[in-house]
Amino acid sequence: MIRLAETAGKLPGVVVSREYKYACSDPGQDMIVQDVRKYGLNRVVVASCSPHLHELTFRKTVATAGQNPYLFHMVNIREHVSWVTEDPEAATAKAEALVKAAVLRAAFLRELEPRRFPVNPNVLVVGGGIAGIHTALTLANANKQVYLVEREPTIGGHMAQFDKTFPTLDCAACILTPKMTAVKQHPNIHLMTYCEVGEVSGFVGSFKVKVKKYPRYIDEDKCTGCGECIEACIFKEGKTPSEFDVGLSKRKPVYLSFPQAVPPIPVIDPEACIEFKSHKCPKSCVEACGDRAAIDFTQTTREVELEVGAVVVATGFKPFDARRLPQYGYGKHPNVYTSLEVERLVNASGPTLGQVVMRDGRKPESIGVLHCIGSRDENTNRYCSRVCCMYSLKLAHLLKEKTGAHIYNFYIDMRTPGKGFEEFYKRLLEEGISCIRGKVAEVSTWPQSPAEEGKLVLRVEDTLLGAVRRIPVDMVVLSVGLEPQADSGQTGRLFNLGCSSDGWFLERHPKLAPVDTFTDGVFLAGCCQGPKDIPDTVAQGGVAAAQSLALIDKGCVEIEPVTAFIDQEICSGCQICIAMCPYTAIQFDSEKSVAALNEALCKGCGTCVAACPSGAAQQNLFLDEQLFAEVQGVLV
């Protein structure tokens, strides 16, 4: 570092060059302010960490010193050099080249003003699970207008499907449904269920969002939620697997996801409804609806346009598909269940009204709960899904309570880091749950002894015992992990979000900006950012709400002036740039026969600059001469 400061000091135009350990700290920034004032510096280069971390910090420092903040350039010698280079000599040489490039580039920096835009005070929350619900309520309580968009017919998400919550064993519905009702009743929340975001344009402070509203075939304004249409449906029994009960029960073509659904407005499934298929249904539902006349078979997908200043993405997760691991026999052996199915099975309002009856009608006397299905597995997902150990213990407890069966939990490591979690684990052990450390290799139905007849046999290496065991059980519960939504890539593209290699949306900084994204004005809440339990999800939803509020209440946003501009004295009006711009920021001025750029629409990609055959289009902070100088600099 000392050598770097010395060589930098000899570069053309450099008045003062210093080495300092934490330039971003108060004394570090102070040093810069002092130097700018003392030497009358008009360019500042800081070689430290990534500009994504502290570019803004130093711009402010330079402004504090009384200089234009854009007369600053940052060199990334930490993430891009010292942390990735083995040979210290090579690292120093690389850093020297980058610093030289920055100094040469800095000479061409120009004074700029940040762009200020007003912020629309409305917020869009995408996803109506507990994360979205909590975020929406927090914002609405702060008197902001919130659009809560949920693609299912009801809000509630996965939490609504759970029976109890760990470690307190609160009933999930008891704590969730009041919040769902609050959403429905809140005057500041515009609830849009059975809707999906189709298109997003604009930028922080003024997003334009197109929402697709799928046809429910029941008019939300006219429906009173009486449910008489469901009663009256010519299907006396449901024939379609219920989405809410994960296929464990059947629903009718006209249905309410679950009794506490919000809004309490049924949906007609055109795939199942006779009227859609044959147009010959007597339409007893319409008759039942009577004067309310809420049923409308002619509805089509509509598009609604919203304008918001901030977006909170809370699109959640999907459970791992246990069919992908055929060795566990899910879908083949009827008595192999996923954890989500068991949540419904043990639930008092579930398909069996809380009676744990297996698919073959028996009550289990022994149950194996298999952890880490689709988690911590090189063949599926490498990450830990964080919640499975605890919910597996919870399910073990509930199953034992309901059936008295002997329960085995098979785990790789028992992960119980959380308030009251370890205590809960202890309690389970005291309840007599067997916990076996080992990953089950296979669930089979080939008996090797009379005791295994008619049983599901779990083959597992008990790593504490150091032996391979065969454990016959009646019922198997696969504790499936959490995965990003199947269409998370598409959602990511909508909002310009990055994904981690596992597919979870990327936060701006894993520690210091956990709900921010690389798109200003778009925040994350809940499991779409990574697996987490309900308290963490709620906390994150609160943070996302707070971040949105911080943005809105400031009233305006400052955006880095990275926009392009067109020198109309040079422009020939060839119009090549116009086809380049994805934001229609460039228009042809036919009177002057030149191109005209609308700065408010420009997002600063610079592709028009690369295309402009006259050099008339340029980009602030990325001017031709700045980049040419930088390239020259890195090569010396």
Partner 1 sequence: MSEAFNPRIVGFFCNWCTYLAADLAGTSRMKYAPNVRVVRTMCSGRVDPQLVVWAFRNGADGVLIGGCHPGDCHYQEGNYKTLRRMGLLRTMLAQLGIEPDRLRLEWISASEGERLRDVMNEFSAQIRQLGPLETKSSVISSQSSVAQAAP
Partner 2 sequence: MAKPKVAFYWCSSCGGCEEAVVDLAEGILQVVEAVDIVFWPVALDFKRRDVEAMPDGAIDVCFINGAIRMSEQEAMANLLRRKSKLVIAYGSCAWMGGIPGLANLTSKKAIFDYVYHQAPTISNGSAVEPLPRTDVPEGELELPEFYEKVKTLDQSIEVDYYLPGCPPTPKITLEAVEAILKGALPEKGSVLAGDRALCHECKANASKPEKLLIKEFKRIQEVIPDLSKCLLAQGLLCLGPVTRGGCEARCLKAGMPCTGCFGPLEKVHDYGAKALSALASIVDSRDEAELARIFDAIPDPAGTFYRYSLPASLLGGRRQVTSDK
Q: Under the rule (CB under 8 A), what is the footprint of partner 2?
A: 567, 569-576, 578-580, 588, 590, 593-594, 607, 610-616, 624, 628
**Which of the listed partners (partner 2, partner 1, none) does 574 bind, with a CB threshold of 5 to 8 Å by partner kind?**
partner 2
Give the shortest CB-493-to-partner 2 separation in angstroms. Answer: 14
As given in the structure block, the two tokens for residue 416 are 């119980």
Give the shortest CB-166-to-partner 2 separation in angstroms. Answer: 48
Q: Are 138 and 148 in contact (CB under 8 A)?
A: no
Nearer to partner 2 among residue 486 and residue 570 (C-beta): 570
Give the one residue of 5, 14, 91, 429 binding partner 1; rule: CB under 8 A.
Answer: 91
Give the shortest CB-336-to-partner 2 separation in angstroms. Answer: 45
Closest CA to 526 of 126, 122, 121, 123: 126
**Which of the listed partners (partner 2, partner 1, none) does 97 bind, with a CB threshold of 5 to 8 Å by partner kind?**
partner 1
Closest CA to 626 of 206, 109, 202, 81: 109
Q: Which stretch binds partner 1 (CB under 8 A): 35-43, 280-288, 369-377, 607-615?
A: 607-615
Q: Quick one: DSSP state of residue 59?
A: H
Residues 358-377 that bind partner 1 (CB under 8 A): none
Other beta carbons less than 10 A from residue 304's beta carbon: 15
**Which of the listed partners (partner 2, partner 1, none) does 93 bind, with a CB threshold of 5 to 8 Å by partner kind?**
partner 1
Say if strands 302-308 and 170-171 run parallel, antiparallel, or are unpaired: unpaired
Nearer to partner 1 among residue 331 and residue 615 (C-beta): 615
Residues 106-135 that bind partner 1 (CB under 8 A): 107-108
Side-chain half-sphere of 311: how many Cα atoms within 13 Å?
30
Closest CA to 196 of 308, 306, 272: 306
Does 635 engage in binding with partner 1 (CB under 8 A)?
yes
Give the one residue of 79, 228, 296, 533 binding partner 1; rule: CB under 8 A.
Answer: 79
Closest CA to 550 of 53, 58, 54, 121: 121
Does 500 engage in binding with partner 1 (CB under 8 A)?
yes
Does 487 engage in binding with partner 1 (CB under 8 A)?
no
Does 11 engage in binding with partner 1 (CB under 8 A)?
no
CA–CA distance, 44 with 190 (Å, rounded to integer): 48
What is the amino acid identity at position 376? R
**Which of the listed partners (partner 2, partner 1, none) does 293 bind, with a CB threshold of 5 to 8 Å by partner kind?**
none
Does 562 engage in binding with partner 1 (CB under 8 A)?
yes
Does 87 engage in binding with partner 1 (CB under 8 A)?
yes
Does 619 engage in binding with partner 1 (CB under 8 A)?
yes
Q: Which stretch binds partner 1 (CB under 8 A): 23-31, 98-106, 272-280, 342-350?
A: 98-106
**Which of the listed partners (partner 2, partner 1, none) does 492 bind, with a CB threshold of 5 to 8 Å by partner kind?**
partner 1
**Which of the listed partners (partner 1, partner 2, none) does 81 bind, with a CB threshold of 5 to 8 Å by partner kind?**
partner 1
Give the shortest CB-634-to-partner 1 separation in angstroms. Answer: 4
User: DSSP string spanning 266-312?
Assistant: -EE-TTT-HHHHHS----HHHHHHGGG--B-TT---EEEEEEESEEE
CA–CA distance, 128 with 236 (Å, rounded to integer): 31
Closest CA to 132 of 552, 551, 506, 548: 548
Residues 516-555 that bind partner 1 (CB under 8 A): 518-519
Bridge partners, residue 123, by sequence: 146, 310
Give the shortest CB-100-to-partner 2 separation in angstroms. Answer: 21
Residues 38-57 that bind partner 1 (CB under 8 A): 50-52
Give the one residue of 132, 263, 492, 526 binding partner 1; rule: CB under 8 A.
Answer: 492
- With a CB cutoff of 8 Å and minimum separation 6, the contacts of 103 are 8, 11, 12, 13, 14, 45, 633
Question: Distances from the Cα of 42 to the Cαs of 29, 31, 56, 70, 74, in angstroms?
Answer: 16, 15, 17, 10, 15
**Which of the listed partners (partner 1, partner 2, none) does 327 bind, with a CB threshold of 5 to 8 Å by partner kind?**
none
Does 199 engage in binding with partner 1 (CB under 8 A)?
no
Does 582 engage in binding with partner 1 (CB under 8 A)?
yes
CA–CA distance, 50 with 636 (Å, rounded to integer): 22
Nearer to partner 1 among residue 206 and residue 500 (C-beta): 500
Does 634 engage in binding with partner 1 (CB under 8 A)?
yes
Give the one residue of 93, 112, 175, 304 binding partner 1; rule: CB under 8 A.
Answer: 93
CA–CA distance, 239 with 233 (Å, rounded to integer): 12
Torsion sign, CA atoms 220, 223, 227, 228: negative
Nearer to partner 2 among residue 600 and residue 627 (C-beta): 627
CA–CA distance, 613 with 538 (Å, rounded to integer): 53
Strands (E), 416-466: 434-437, 440-444, 456-462
As given in the structure block, the two tokens for residue 184 are 């429905």
Give the one residue of 54, 59, 94, 252 binding partner 1; rule: CB under 8 A.
Answer: 94
Nearer to partner 2 among residue 249 and residue 568 (C-beta): 568
Nearer to partner 1 among residue 36 and residue 95 (C-beta): 95
Torsion sign, CA atoms 268, 272, 276, 279: negative
> What are the residues binding partner 1 (CB under 8 A)?
50-52, 76, 78-81, 83-87, 90-91, 93-94, 97-98, 101, 104, 107-108, 492-493, 496, 498-501, 506, 518-519, 562, 580, 582, 603-607, 609-611, 619, 622, 624-625, 627-632, 634-636
